[in-house]
Chains A and B, each alone.
Chain A
Amino acid sequence: MNTQDPKKRIKNFDEVALGLTEEEAVKEAKRCLNCKKAACAGGCPVEIDIPAFIQLIAKGEFEKALAKVREKNFLPAVCGRVCPQEDQCEKVCILDKKHMPIGIGDLERFVADWEIKKGSRFKVQGSRVGSGKEKIAVIGSGPAGITCAGELAKMGYDVTIFESLHKPGGVLTYGIPEFRLPKRIVEIDIGYAQSLGVKIENNFLAGKTKTIDELKKDGFKAFFVGIGAGLPYFLGIEGEALNGVYSANEFLTRTNLMKSYLFPEYDTPVRIGNSVGVVGAGNVAMDSARCALRLGAKDVRIIYRRTEIEMPARLDEIHRAKEEGIKFELLTHPLKFSGDDKGWVKEAELMRNELGEPDASGRRRPVPIKGSEFKMKLDTVICAIGQGPNPLLPKTLPGMKLNADGNIVVDKNNMTSLEGVFAGGDIVTGAATVIAAMGAGKRAAASIARYLSK
C-alpha cells in the first residue's frame, strides 16, 4: 500500500498509509483463490466471511462487500487499519506459502473507506428479533463495548454505553494516533453502531457518577464491563517522578485525545525535548516514538530489553518507525533516571543484556551483562511497558472476582461472579488487541441475549 513519504510525514499528523485505489483493490481481490475450506475466516476473531467479501470486491460490488463485512464486524474502517492481520487471517492464507498472502486488511479498509468517500448513509441492517424491551448498560466505549452494544442493538435491545471521557472510542480515540487511525474514521465506525440505536453517554464514570446498583434501579437488566487496560505501568526505578517522564497513556492521551500537537490553539500542552527515550517495543511504544518525532523531537530511541525478533509491535509499525528515523537501542534496559535541580529528567543510566533461556512467555529472557552500564542524555522519557486493569470500577463492586493482577474473572459465557454483569476485552485478558476485544464483546453480547431470554 502507498504511504506518505517518510521525510514529509514526520512533520504532520496526517494518515501514513494511503489506502488502495479501486483498481488496486479489484486486482488484489482477484488474486484470492476462494478456497473451499477458507482458513482465513477461521483466523478472524469476529469471524468475518472473508472469501465472500473479497469475491464481491473482485466483482466490483463494493457496497455489498461492505455489508458482508458488517454482518460480523462493527468497526471495519478501524480494523482494516489496526488489526494484526499478519498474525491472524493473512497468516493462514494459503498464498502465504509463497510469502504473498491476500492483503485482507487492506481490502477491508478499502470497502469501509469507499463508503466514507461516497458519503452514503448507514442503513439499519440485521434483524431486530429481540424483545426490544430490556435495557442494557455497557461500560466503556472502546472496541469491546462498541461491538457488544452494536450486537445487542441489532437484536433489538435498548443499549446505552457509559463513557468516562468526553469522546467515545476508548483506546481508538485516546491512544492510537491520528496518523495511524484518523479520529474521523473512528467517529464514522462508531456512528454505525449509533445508527442501530446504541445510545452513548459521555462524561459518565461508572462507579462514581452512578454505581452499578443505581443503574440497576434505573432499570438496566444486564451489564457489560469493557473498560480496557486503563492503568499505566511504570518501571519502578529511581527518577520516574521527574518532570519529562510520561506514561505512554499520558503522552498519547495529551497528543491524540487533547490534540496537544495543536497547542496553544488547543489548550492542553505536552512538552517534548530534543532527545526522547521510549521504553518498550509494543505498538504503544511505536506510536509514542512516532508522535514524539512529529512533535519536534530530534532524536527518538526505542529502548528494549530483548531483540527485534521479540518485539511485540506489528512488523508494519516497526518498519514505518525505522523509515521515519526512530533509532533502536536493543538488549538494553534503564536502571535509573537522573534530573537537574529543577526536577527535569536529563540522563538515563542503562545496562546491556544478552538473551538467556526462554521465560514463561516463551521468549528468551534478557540477562544483564555485568559492567555494561552506560549513560544516555534524555530530555523526555516515555514508559510504554504496558497497562494494567484500572481498579476504580471494580473497587465499587466488592463481590466481583478479580485475579491476582486485578483483571476481572469471567466464566465461559463472559459473565463475572456477579449475576447479570458480563465483562470482556483488556479488563479481562490484560492488554491485547482491538480485534480480540471485539471478539470478546461479540461473545458477551450473545451470552447476554441468552441470559435475558432465560
Chain B
Amino acid sequence: MSYKIIEKVRLNSVMWKMAVEAPLIARSRRAGQFVIVKIDEKGERIPLTINDSDSGKGTITIIFQETGATTKRLGCLKAGDSISDVLGPLGKETDFGKVGKVVLVAGGVGIAEILPIAGYAKSAGNYVLTIIGGRTKELVILEEELKSLSDKLIVTTDDGSYGIKGLVLHPLRDAMAAERFDLCYSVGPDIMMKAVSETTKPRALKTLVSLDANMVDATGMCGTCRVTVGGRTQFVCVDGPEFDGHLVDWDGFLKRQKRFVEEEKQAIGYFEKHNKNCIYKQ
C-alpha cells in the first residue's frame, strides 16, 4: 500500500499544497487532526495537519513549508509520485462548539492549519474574526479561503509589504479592546502562540493553541512529544494537539523543541548534497 500524490500546487516560494490519496483518513478525519507522513524506507515520521479532505475522491490535503530535510524531500515529489506511509487521522478533534465570538490568530504555515478550524468555528455558528500574519506579502496564503469562512479577516506582515505592518498581536489587542470574545484559537510559530497566550491571559480570554512537536509513532507510545500543561505531562500526539495556552509550560516546550536543531542542520546538509537533481523546484 502506498499513498499517491494526486495534485501538487505551489503556494509561495516555500510552501506547497498536496492532495494525497488516503480514502480511510479522508472519510474519518475532523478539524484539528493530523497525519503522520513517512516518504519512503529511509524517511522520518513527521506530523502534518490535515488541511482539508474530499471523501468522494478519497483524498486529504496537506500544506507544508520546506523547513527540514523531510519537508524539503516532500517538496521534490510531484503529482503521480507516491508516499510510502500515511497514518491517521491522529490527535483529538476540535470540539469547542458554539461559544459566541471566536478570534483565530495564525502565523506562517499556521495559516494553513487555521483553515479547518475557521471552517469548524463558522459551521458551529460562531462569529469568527481571523487574524493572519506573515513575514512578508508572499508568505500570506489562503486569504480568499479564510475570508469566506470569517466574519472579518485582518492581515499583517512584519515588513509592512501587505496589510497592517507589524505582528498579529497588535490587531489582537485592538480587537479585544473593541469587543468581547469568548475564545481565542492560535496556531503558528511557537513564540507567536506563546505571545498570543500572554496577550489573552490578562483578559482571561480562554485560548487554545495547536502544538506541533517532533514525534515518532504519534500514538502515545514513545513520549517524545511530551509537554507540561498545568503541571501535568501530556503527549501532544494523543492528548493534543490542542491545549489551553494559558497552562502550557512555554519555556520548557520551547527548549524541548530545539532538541534536534543540530541534527536538522546535518540532515539538510545531507539532503542538499544528495538531491541536486530535484528539478521540480527550479
Q: Which residues of A contact B (CB under 8 A)?
A: 164-166, 174, 201-205, 208-210, 230-232, 234, 240-241, 243-244, 246-247, 249-250, 253-254, 257-259, 262-269, 271, 342-344, 390-392
Contacts and interface: CB of A to CB of B under 8 A. Distances in A.
Contacts of A262: 42
B282 interface: no
Contacts of A166: 38, 45, 84-85, 87
A201 B88 CA distance: 13
Given A164-B87, A234-B233, A392-B219, A241 B252 contact: yes
B252 A250 contact: no
Nearest to B24: A209
B260 interface: yes
A73 B151 CA distance: 64
A202 B221 CA distance: 16
A240 B84 CA distance: 34
Given A203-B1, A243-B259, A266 B42 contact: yes
B222 A249 contact: yes
B216 A271 contact: no
B216 A250 contact: yes
A230 B220 contact: yes
Given A208-B89, A258-B216, A231 B221 contact: yes
Contacts of A230: 219-221
B234 to A, nearest CB: 11
Interface in B237-263: 238, 249, 252, 255-256, 258-260, 262-263
Contact of A253 (B69, B217, B255): B217
A264 B266 contact: yes
Given A232-B223, A249-B223, A265-B42, A203 B86 contact: yes
Most-contacted residue by chain B among A164, A166, A210, A342 (CB, 10 A) = A166
B211 interface: no
A232 B222 contact: yes
Interface of B: 1, 24-25, 28, 38, 42-45, 69-70, 73, 84-90, 216-217, 219-224, 226-228, 233, 238, 249, 252, 255-256, 258-260, 262-264, 266-267, 269-270
A350 B86 CA distance: 43
A166 B90 CA distance: 15
A210 B219 contact: no
A86 to B, nearest CB: 29
10 contacts: A164-B219, A202-B85, A203-B87, A205-B87, A232-B221, A257-B216, A267-B42, A342-B255, A343-B252, A343-B256
Q: Which 8 A-B pairs have the closest CB atoms?
A: A343-B255, A269-B263, A250-B222, A267-B44, A264-B270, A243-B259, A166-B85, A230-B221
B24 to A, nearest CB: 5
Given A241-B249, A342-B258, 8 more contacts: A166-B87, A204-B87, A205-B88, A208-B90, A209-B87, A241-B226, A267-B267, A269-B267
Contacts of A343: 252, 255-256, 258-259
Contact of B43 (A246, A247, A267): A267
Contact of B223 (A202, A247, A344): A247
A210 B255 contact: no
A269 to B, nearest CB: 4
A255 to B, nearest CB: 11
Contacts of A390: 219-221
A209 B85 CA distance: 13
Contact of B224 (A209, A250, A391): A250
Contact of A267 (B25, B70, B89, B238): B70
Contacts of B219: 164, 205, 230, 390, 392
B66 to A, nearest CB: 14
A271 B227 CA distance: 19
Nearest to B87: A203
Nearest to B252: A241
Contact of B25 (A209, A258, A391): A209
A323 to B, nearest CB: 29
A247 B222 contact: yes
Nearest to B254: A343
Contacts of B266: 263-264, 269
Contacts of A240: 233
A336 to B, nearest CB: 15
A392 B267 contact: no
A209 B216 contact: no
Contact of B28 (A208, A231, A247, A392): A208
Contacts of B25: 209
Contact of B228 (A241, A243, A271): A241
A271 B263 contact: yes
Contacts of A201: 1
Contacts of A165: 217
Contacts of B267: 263-264, 267, 269
B233 A258 contact: no
Contacts of B220: 230-231, 390-392
Nearest to A243: B259
Contacts of B89: 208-209
Nearest to A164: B219
Contacts of A342: 255, 258
Nearest to B238: A392
A268 B271 CA distance: 13
A263 B42 CA distance: 9
Given A166-B84, A202-B85, A343-B255, A210 B28 contact: yes
A232 B220 CA distance: 8
Nearest to A250: B222
Contacts of B227: 241
A349 B267 CA distance: 34
B170 to A, nearest CB: 30
A429 B219 CA distance: 20
Contacts of B258: 243, 342-343
Contacts of A234: 223, 233
A241 B225 CA distance: 10
Contacts of B84: 166
B85 A203 contact: yes
B269 to A, nearest CB: 8
B216 A268 contact: yes
Contacts of B85: 166, 202-203
A205 B238 CA distance: 12
